[in-house]
Structure 1
Amino acid sequence: MRRLPLVLATVALAALAATAPAASAAEPPAASFVIEDPRITESSGLAASRTHPGVYWTHNDSDDGPYLYGVDAATGRTVARITMTGVGRPRDVEAVSLGPDGQLYVGDIGDNRNGGWEHVWIYRFPEPKQLGDVTVKATQFTVKYADGPRDAEALMVHPKTGRVYIASKDREKGGLYEGPANLSGGGANVFRRVAAVPWVTDGAFSPDGNRLALRGYLVARTYPWRDGRPEGEGERVDAPWQGQAESVTYTADGSALMFGAEGAKSRVVAIPVAAQPGPGASGAPSPRSSPNAAAADPEPAGEGGNFTRGALVLAGATVLVMGGRRLLRRRRSD
């Protein structure tokens, strides 16, 4: 009977351990990699897969396909090639982004006539659940700008609202253009200028939707995103020098920015993202502190939720141990 407290303590520790979060498939730690596929010589866009951890979608910017390639960051090798049908012949594919609906958005938005195309296109289709070479039927959307044609290389889909944004490539009058709440396949989708931005070649939203990253050949910046607009002058990111610097995306977990460039066996460089200030500061609020977080999940299943449940289990286990000790003392006195 002297082992009773030890047995109860062991049970308590086991119960406490049971409150720890279960292991799950996670995004591999961000690391730079080289795109090994000899078919990819003009990588002009990047998007981190949410379905396949460690895989990045990319494409050539012209005279290829229409194809989208899935590259495994661990090896640099192509693990999927998507052939799009139903989109005609693309002119100048410059960007790819993944929406909250699990669909890939491909931006055929480049304008080799320097603002001469009357319209450009966006192609959309579901991200494949299985890796490999597949053919998909994409939906084609016609895009026009409210203030006239322009060249662009950056297309970003907000990860919460699903709204599509395009940043024009203009050294003096670069602008961020907002598309309609829902794209329509039946007519032109008019994009309207909502903010001035620098001359950029690509952009991406953070996975929580609180920041917008924009890059050019020489400079990259991230901006707090509030009320559907970038805020302030942004913060400079130590982007690598890559020559024909054409692409940027966040890792799926938001821990790093991945910078890509054109060229055979081009290198994708990982730059860790610094922690941002909390609410009320100049940075973006953390996902836990978003206005809807409390209503959507009154006790998050993250560290706070697990700590609360663990404390309750530990308190209960303590009661068991103390009760066992009292029972032992009573039996000894009998």
Structure 2
Amino acid sequence: MRRPFALLASALLVGAFAIPAAAVPASAAEGDKGFTIEDPRITESSGLAASRQHPGVYWTHNDSDDGPYLYAVDSATGKTVARLTLTGIGSPRDVEAISMGPDNQIYVGDIGDNLGGKWPYVWIYKLPEPKKLTDQTIRATQYVVTYSDGARDAESLIVHPRTGRVYIIDKKEDGGHLYEGPATLTPSAKPGKNVFKPVATVDLWATDAAFSPDGTQLAVRGYFGGIYYDWNGGDIERKGRLEVPLQRQGESVSYSADGSKLMYGSEGTGSEVVAEDAPDGGSADKSPSGSGSSSDSGDSGGSSVASGGVKLGALAVVAVAAALFGFRRLLRRD
């Protein structure tokens, strides 16, 4: 009976390890590999944000002189699958950044100031990401933003994926600051309601930044390099440099939706989005719906897909071992 027992044991063990740890889409498992933006209307792609609701889709926009438009680009083909026209916001001035917040809310940063910090205020727009990707018009909420220490130029807008708190990094050649907005932005036509305050220094001439999907890492890029930080609830800690590709005019960065890649974009017609491995192996989004939480620490309060898979696999092995042990005892009795 030893040979049949060994064959049964092998079959059961193979079956145990074949049990899927979790239903992970192929796109999430493989990560994004980079693409070229094919839409001739996108000539100054200045911001980039991965959709969580539509796998493989990235939102982008032109820098200026385009109008209130956002473009959804399919990374599999590089083609635009939807153009959104924003209403309720007036005429955009210098749109520089885009970020995904909790509950699939899109935040757009009209925060550039090519005059070197002369605008008395800048704007942030928020709108729901459409469930269906078609050309359509969407009403956005406009927020008037000021800085506690005076006007400045900025190209980096980031929204924490758990708390929804909005941050801006100003653009200074010798390094800038991370600015924290109020816990909740207030729609208002007058300055003074949404005051952003410096909370940390950033050692880079920043052109864009992005949170990892789980909110534990902050990646900041410039024209010729990048730095990543542990978030630590806003008390950022520098961890290392990023492998930023050499591009015509490096303007944007986004984590892929699964956190495994950093996607680097550039301005220009037919611009290329280059994928690089995220530092420290990236981070898995433990909240696929993108809903927020009450903590600003960035901790998920749950296991990642990977760790969940390990636990499930371990339990399967234990169960198989127990079954084999019991089956062997029955054989001995016979």
Q: Give the TM bin, normalised by the shorter chain.
A: 0.7 to 0.9
Paired residues for 1:10-89 under 5 Å: 12=12, 16=16, 19-25=19-25, 26-27=27-28, 28-89=30-91
CA spacing shift, 1:297–1:44, aligned 2, 3 Å: closer
Q: What TM-score results when the alignment is normalised by the length of structure 1?
A: 0.85
Contact in 2 for aligned 1:95/1:107 (Cα 8 Å): yes
Paired residues for 1:217-296 under 5 Å: 217-232=223-238, 234-275=239-280, 296=302
Paired residues for 1:127-206 under 5 Å: 127-172=129-174, 174-186=176-188, 188-197=193-202, 198-206=204-212
Contact in 1 for aligned 2:48/2:97 (Cα 8 Å): yes
CA spacing shift, 1:208–1:22, aligned 2, 3 Å: closer
1:9, distance to aligned residue in structure 2 (A): 5.5
Q: What TM-score results when the alignment is normalised by the length of structure 2?
A: 0.85
1:30, distance to aligned residue in structure 2 (A): 2.2
Q: Which amino acid aligns with 1:195?
A: A
Quote the Cα distance in structure 2 between the aligned partners of 1:60 and 1:7. 62
Q: Which deviates further from its counterpart, 137-146 or 184-193?
A: 184-193
Contact in 1 for aligned 2:260/2:283 (Cα 8 Å): no
Question: 1:281 aligns to what?
Answer: none
1:271, distance to aligned residue in structure 2 (A): 1.1
Quote the Cα distance in structure 2 between the aligned partners of 1:53 and 1:168. 30
Instruction: State the secondary structure of the residue aligned to 2:311.
Output: helix
Larger radius of gyration: 1
Asked if 1:213 corresponds to 2:213, the answer is no
Q: Which amino acid aligns with 1:236?
A: R
Instruction: State the secondary structure of the residue aligned to 2:99.
Output: strand
Instruction: State the secondary structure of the residue aligned to 1:258.
Output: strand
Q: Identity, % of aligned pairs?
A: 53
Contact in 2 for aligned 1:248/1:257 (Cα 8 Å): yes
Instruction: State the secondary structure of the residue aligned to 2:200.
Output: strand
Q: Which amino acid aligns with 2:250?
A: A
Instruction: State the secondary structure of the residue aligned to 1:308.
Output: helix
Quote the Cα distance in structure 1 between the aligned partners of 2:284 and 2:43. 37
Give the count of matched residue pairs.
318
CA spacing shift, 1:13–1:324, aligned 2, 3 Å: farther
CA spacing shift, 1:181–1:174, aligned 2, 3 Å: same
- 2:308 maps to which of 292, 297, 302: 302
1:2, distance to aligned residue in structure 2 (A): 11
1:13, distance to aligned residue in structure 2 (A): 5.3
Q: Which amino acid aligns with 1:266?
A: S
Q: Over the residues paired in the alignment, what is the CA RMSD in angstroms?
A: 3.0
The unaligned stretches of length 5 or more in structure 1 are: 277-283, 330-334
Q: Which string of whole-angstrom CA distances, capped at 9 and with x for unpartnered residues, describes residues 15-56 of structure 1?
A: 736743244324253212110000000000000111111111
